[in-house]
């Protein structure tokens, strides 16, 4: 009990961590891509891996983490999932140890921007997770399932569809959850404030400039004149101190180099900022709509600026390509990527507060009536109504609620199945069900006995005796081939069924001495015995041969009495269960459910056939119950309950009542005792006792 509790607690810790980590990465795949690029740069591999590969890796990483978390939560493919989790955590723990020691990247990004951990905190977290994974991997089957095995595919497929949809939507539009300092509703000025008395960090901004083919770096105090061309600007922190949420945001006038950040943010009213970290890789498919918004802002007196980290050459190319008339300003590339996950993306600020964000795929489109209204009169001029609680509710309704309902329905179904199993283990119920549903059969196997005249005479005698004293079960006699046609003429098919003792494994052809299933059927027989131990032993009939015989018999409309059973050596080695299972799997478990319903199973302990030895009623019931259970595993409980299983092993009138009283014994396949009318009828009459 303690072990199972430990495994399931560890499983839940892993599941919740992986789900959270995978989801926040899927919500912000570009942010995860930027972090992957940081890792590659730290490993000196940044120039070798193209952007599409890092973005693909970002999406796949989030899907793998989320998928493993869901599978761990619902205990799906427990052995495989625990192994995959271990294979993932070992290199991840080693990687975070390197991060903690070398500190090439300040934030591992394992929870995106939702939760920021130091590298040592990340390493500690991974050590704990690795320990949890090791516990789960040691005893994966101790994880309790929340959804049955048959319904697990719904959970995995739905979860993968959901997480890929989240990533796709976040790439097309914007992340549904914005954990960064520049989320909608943030006042940038307040985000930059430093409390009174706080220790101040220091930063240095440098500018790479070019003039007459010569490049030189300047700081803000030595910014050159306008004859120099700005190549790029970089800001780095010199000393640590209190770091406000927004600490590296700036807007520089490209022409003068002047910092106009406060000038723009402190002015009252609306401000459009078109954010394009790299103009060379910016999507230009919506430039017409951008220009329309610029014209709208100009007509209504709103300020509109482009922010970029690109140089003046790239800005000129953008203007030539799009016809842009708005002013461009310089800002830090990393900051711009942090502000909005779109290139380009559009921000609307009012009094320094971010009111709206749009990706280039979802820019607002104003009709003629809206274009004549001010932003105060339009919805886009106000904070959106889709608050974080509303977004969380959407996630619950679209993902968690369906899975919760599936789990409840599945557990109710599992409970009803458990109740049904409990009910069916009740001996009284099983007896009643058996008597109601399954056929009771006593079948005689004459083997190689009786000439034609004696066989016909015995058939007549049996027919008269049973016609006069109706049996409480179905009766079948299986005779040698030579008797079939003649015996069929003297039997009343409503009283006694007729069967053959064998048939060929070939349909027709040059097989001297063989009798096909079609020939057997043509005599008037309805049954055929296949797989008898004597055929297996003396004529080397293999499971493959018997499989062919069964198929041909069923094809020709014969019902099959299929024999299985173990030798004395196998019984003494306690291998009887695996023997009978292998014989069924080898020859009849390939059948469809509809075909299998024409199979009658006859269990014959080989050590009790013709030896005078008989399995005790308890031994016979035990193996019959096992046979029924493996039929249930293959075809379901309903088919198993309907399958007639006969006992064949020195069954006599004296022991038949005790054997037939067992709930899983549905009659007998009788050998020597079927050659005399009185003996055979004594066994048949056991069903009346």
Annotated binding site for substrate: 445-447, 610, 650, 671-672
Collapsing DSSP states into helix, strand and coil, what is residue 552?
helix
> Alpha-carbon distance 588 to 592, whole Å?
9
Render the burial of 531-558: b for 16+ CB within 10 Å, e for the rest.
Answer: bbbbbbeeeebebebbbbbbbbbbebeb
Q: Where are the alpha helices (DSSP H) in 103-211?
A: 119-138, 152-172, 188-191
Token couple for 10: 């560890």
The secondary structure of residue 400, as a DSSP letter, is I
Render the burial of 605-644: b for 16+ CB within 10 Å, e for the rest.
Answer: bbbbbeeeebbebeebbbbbbbbbebbbebbebebbbebb
Q: Where are the alpha helices (DSSP H) in 446-532?
A: 452-468, 481-490, 517-522
Catalytic residue among 65, 604, 621, 624: 604
End-to-end C-alpha distance for the chain, whole angstroms: 48
> Alpha-carbon distance 521 to 627, whole Å?
29
Query: Got the DSSP string for 450-469?
Result: --HHHHHHHHHHHHHHHHHS
Q: Is 604 a catalytic residue?
A: yes
Cα 563–chain centre separation: 40
| Cβ within 8 Å of residue 618, ≥6 positions away | none
> Alpha-carbon distance 354 to 182, whole Å?
7
Render the burial of 129-161: b for 16+ CB within 10 Å, e for the rest.
Answer: bbebbebbbeebebbebbbeeebbeebbeebee
Residue 221 burial (10 A CB sphere; 0-12, 13-18, 19+): exposed
Residue 389 burial (10 A CB sphere; 0-12, 13-18, 19+): exposed
Catalytic residue among 532, 541, 583, 621: 532
DSSP bridge partners of 275: 307, 345
> Alpha-carbon distance 553 to 559, whole Å?
7
> Alpha-carbon distance 475 to 494, whole Å?
10
| Cβ within 8 Å of residue 140, ≥6 positions away | 78, 79, 81, 82
The H or E element containing residue 270 is strand 270-276
> Alpha-carbon distance 295 to 371, whole Å?
10
Conformational region of residue 557, where left means phi above 0, alpha means psi within -120 to 50, and beta covers everything else = left
3-state helix, strand, coil in the chain (%, to 5): 55, 15, 30
> Alpha-carbon distance 633 to 600, whole Å?
17
- CB count, 10 Å around CB of 278? 15
| Cβ within 8 Å of residue 109, ≥6 positions away | 31, 32, 35, 38
For the chain, the maximum distance between any two Cα atoms, rounded to a whole number of angstroms, is 128
SS3 of 224-248: the string is CCCCCEEEEEEEEEEECCCCCCCCC
Query: Residue ranges for the binding site?
Result: 445-447, 610, 650, 671-672
Active-site positions?
532, 604
């Amino acid at each position: 009990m303690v072990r199972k509790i430990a495994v399931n607690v560890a499983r839940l810790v892993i599941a919740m961590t992986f789900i959270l980590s995978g989801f926040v990465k899927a919500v912000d795949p570009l942010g995860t891509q930027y972090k992957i690029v940081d890792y590659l740069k730290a490993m000196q591999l940044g120039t070798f891996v193209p952007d599409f590969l890092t973005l693909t890796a970002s999406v796949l990483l989030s899907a793998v983490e989320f998928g493993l978390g869901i599978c761990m939560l619902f205990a799906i493919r427990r052995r495989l999932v625990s192994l995959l989790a271990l294979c993932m955590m070992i290199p991840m723990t080693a990687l975070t140890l390197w991060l903690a020691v070398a500190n090439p990247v300040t934030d591992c990004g394992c929870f995106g921007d939702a939760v920021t951990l130091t590298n040592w905190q990340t390493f500690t977290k991974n050590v704990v997770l690795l320990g949890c994974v090791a516990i789960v991997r040691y005893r994966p089957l101790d994880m309790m399932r929340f959804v049955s095995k048959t319904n697990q595919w719904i959970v995995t497929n739905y979860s993968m569809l959901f997480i890929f949809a989240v990533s796709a939507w976040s790439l097309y539009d914007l992340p549904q959850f914005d954990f960064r300092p520049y989320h909608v509703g943030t006042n940038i000025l307040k985000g930059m404030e430093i409390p009174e008395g706080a220790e101040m960090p220091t930063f240095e901004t440098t500018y790479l400039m070019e003039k007459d083919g010569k490049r030189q770096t300047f700081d803000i105090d030595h910014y050159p004149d306008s004859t120099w061309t700005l190549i790029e600007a970089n800001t780095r922190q010199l000393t640590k101190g209190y770091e406000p949420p927004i600490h590296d945001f700036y807007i520089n006038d490209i022409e003068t180099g002047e910092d106009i950040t406060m000038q723009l943010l402190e002015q009252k009213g609306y401000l459009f900022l078109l954010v394009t970290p790299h103009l060379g890789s910016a999507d230009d498919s919506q430039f017409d709509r951008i220009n329309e918004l610029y014209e709208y802002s100009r007509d209504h007196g709103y300020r509109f600026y482009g922010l970029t980290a690109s140089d003046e050459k790239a800005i000129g190319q953008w203007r030539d390509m799009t016809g842009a008339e708005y002013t461009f300003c310089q800002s830090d590339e990393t900051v711009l990527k942090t502000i909005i996950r779109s290139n380009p993306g559009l921000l609307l600020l009012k009094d320094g507060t971010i009111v709206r964000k749009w990706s280039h795929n979802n820019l607002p489109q104003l009709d003629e009536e809206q274009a004549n209204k001010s932003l105060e009169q339009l919805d886009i001029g106000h904070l959106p109504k889709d608050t974080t609680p509303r977004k969380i509710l959407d996630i619950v309704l679209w993902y968690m609620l369906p899975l919760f309902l599936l789990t409840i329905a599945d557990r109710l179904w599992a409970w009803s199945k458990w109740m049904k199993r409990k009910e069916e283990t009740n001996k009284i119920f099983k007896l009643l069900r058996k008597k109601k549903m399954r056929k009771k059969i006593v079948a005689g196997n004459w083997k190689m006995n009786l000439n034609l005249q004696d066989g016909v005479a015995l058939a007549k005698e049996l027919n008269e005796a049973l016609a006069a004293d109706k049996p409480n079960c179905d009766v079948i006699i299986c005779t040698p081939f030579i008797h079939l046609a003649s015996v069929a003429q003297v039997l009343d098919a409503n009283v006694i069924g007729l069967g053959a003792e064998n048939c060929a494994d070939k349909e027709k052809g040059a097989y001297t001495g063989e009798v096909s299933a079609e020939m057997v059927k043509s005599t008037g027989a309805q049954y055929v015995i296949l797989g008898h131990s004597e055929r297996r032993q003396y004529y080397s009939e293999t499971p493959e041969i018997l499989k062919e015989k069964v198929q041909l018999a069923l094809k020709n409309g014969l019902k099959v009495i299929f024999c299985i059973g173990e030798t004395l050596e196998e019984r003494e080695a306690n291998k009887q269960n695996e023997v009978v299972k292998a014989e069924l799997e080898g020859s009849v478990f390939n059948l469809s459910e509809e075909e299998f319903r024409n199979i009658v199973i006859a269990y014959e302990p080989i050590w009790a056939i013709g030896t005078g030895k008989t399995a005790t009623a308890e031994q016979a019931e035990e193996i019959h119950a096992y046979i029924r259970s493996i039929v249930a595993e293959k075809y379901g409980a309903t088919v198993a309950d309907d399958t007639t299983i006969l006992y064949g092993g020195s069954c006599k009138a004296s022991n038949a009542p005790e054997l037939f009283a067992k709930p899983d014994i549905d009659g007998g396949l009788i050998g020597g005792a079927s050659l005399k009318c009185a003996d055979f009828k004594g066994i048949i009459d056991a069903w009346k006792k």
